């Protein structure tokens, strides 16, 4: 049986990730030699194309293909795709929309280094080419302009995802989504209800594109979410943490639609492992978060229905020890067949 294996990882700066930290931790290059992945979706590359080619030269010499979307702001964001086979129809940004409908609100992010996609041969019988995309969704920061940017991004990205699903192109969007959807997706959810990454409107966005499965109803605003005194982050529609952002037509449409009842996009790892409470992909470098597994599951592979049905196994390639990490994120890997 032919398989197609995809990894997604926020590299936290490709030049830093490629450095040899110790004899035991030689960075991303040995990992690329050893991984079973056919495609690696990278986020937060934080380098221009020349710098990236230099950092990844041994891997590129060994046959990996690279497509990259650097950010206009030097040293920030940046996404890329590494593939063992040729990448076709590379597209940067998502303002072009789908089904011939452009998304003007997305043009703000055309050169922000947050989205790149390409077609690649899957090798899976009956599937052929699939679209693979690397996403670096804004991290946000409550009560700053960064949170406004994140809300604007969500406004523009939801209609893009809806349009892509309608077109029927089998797609995997892997990346750092910077949102925990459910309580099981972060260790300390109660103390993070006013922190970007777990705000009600962010979680409601994922409800909108992914539905509420495996729950019977949304966790946003349920009895456990609000507790005895209410959720300090408010409710969906409050857009907690915004400074000057005001929800426009796209946000209002998303709020009116609510959670997807018949979702066309699927959180592949959660679909394969609905009960897990401790499979995280990011841990802050501060304190003992990695050692105590006080993490966040913010790195996702979100796939259209046909590919979700072909997912066979998914795992986080977590380093064996803190000092063996070459990023504060770990690769999330899915095997499709």
Binding site members for Mg(2+):
10, 44, 176, 178, 328-329
Residues 6+ apart with CB under 8 A from 306: 127, 170
DSSP 282: B
The partner residues of 312 in beta bridges, in order of sequence, read none
Q: How far apart are the C-alpha atoms of 18 and 50, rounded to whole Å?
A: 14
How far apart (Å, rounded) are the C-alpha atoms in residues 105 and 108?
6
Q: Which residues contact 90 (CB under 8 A, 6 or more apart)?
A: 67, 81, 116, 117, 118
CA–CA separation, 82 vs 107, rounded Å? 25
Helix axes 200-210, 249-257, angle to 10 degrees: 70
Catalytic center residues: 136, 176, 329
Q: Which strand ranges, in their side-by-side order, compose the sheet holding 332-336?
A: 65-69, 79-83, 39-43, 4-10, 332-336, 311-316
Please check whether residue 212 is in contact with residue 258, taking contact to mean a CB–CB distance below 8 angstroms. no
Alpha helices in 211-281 (DSSP H): 223-226, 249-257, 268-272
Residue 206: its H or E element: helix 200-210
Sequence-separated (6 or more) residues with CB below 8 Å from residue 229: none
275 dihedral zone (left: phi>0; alpha: psi -120 to 50; beta): alpha
How deeply is 139 buried, as exposed, middle or buried, from its count of CB atoms within 10 A (0-12, 13-18, 19+)? middle
Q: Rounded CA gap, 301 and 39, in Å? A: 12
Token readout for 107 is 């043009």
Q: In sequence order, which residues have a C-beta less than 8 Å from that of residue 19 and are 6 or more positions away?
A: 27, 326
């Amino acid at each position: 049986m032919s398989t197609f294996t995809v990894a997604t990882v926020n590299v936290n700066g490709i030049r830093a990730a490629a450095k040899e930290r110790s004899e035991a931790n030689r960075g991303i290059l040995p990992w690329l030699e050893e991984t079973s992945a056919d495609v690696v979706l990278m986020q937060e590359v934080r380098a221009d194309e020349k710098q990236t080619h230099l950092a990844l030269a041994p891997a590129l010499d060994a046959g990996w293909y690279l497509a990259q979307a650097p950010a206009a702001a030097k040293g920030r964001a940046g996404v890329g795709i590494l593939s063992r086979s040729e990448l076709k129809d590379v597209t940067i940004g998502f303002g072009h929309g789908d089904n011939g409908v452009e998304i003007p609100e997305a043009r703000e992010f055309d050169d922000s280094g947050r989205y790149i996609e390409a077609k690649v041969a899957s090798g899976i019988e009956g599937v052929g080419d699939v679209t693979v995309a690397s996403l670096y969704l804004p991290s946000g920061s409550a009560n700053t302009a960064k949170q406004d940017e994140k809300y604007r991004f969500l406004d523009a990205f939801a209609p893009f995802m809806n349009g892509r699903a309608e077109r029927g192109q089998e797609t995997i969007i892997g990346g750092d989504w910077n949102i925990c959807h459910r309580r099981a997706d972060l260790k300390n959810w109660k103390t993070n209800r006013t922190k970007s990454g777990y705000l009600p409107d962010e979680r409601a966005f994922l409800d909108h594109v992914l539905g509420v499965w495996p729950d019977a109803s949304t966790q946003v605003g349920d009895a456990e979410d609000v507790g005895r005194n209410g959720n300090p982050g408010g409710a969906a529609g409050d857009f907690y943490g915004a400074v000057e952002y005001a929800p426009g037509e796209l946000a209002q449409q998303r709020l009116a639609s609510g959670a997807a009842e018949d979702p066309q996009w699927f959180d592949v790892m959660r679909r394969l492992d609905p009960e897990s409470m401790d499979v995280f992909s990011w841990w802050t470098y501060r304190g003992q978060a990695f050692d105590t597994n006080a993490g966040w599951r913010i790195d996702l592979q979100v796939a259209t229905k046909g590919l979700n049905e072909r997912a066979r196994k998914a795992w986080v390639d977590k380093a064996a020890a803190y000092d063996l990490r070459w990023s504060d994120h770990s690769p999330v890997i899915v095997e499709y067949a």
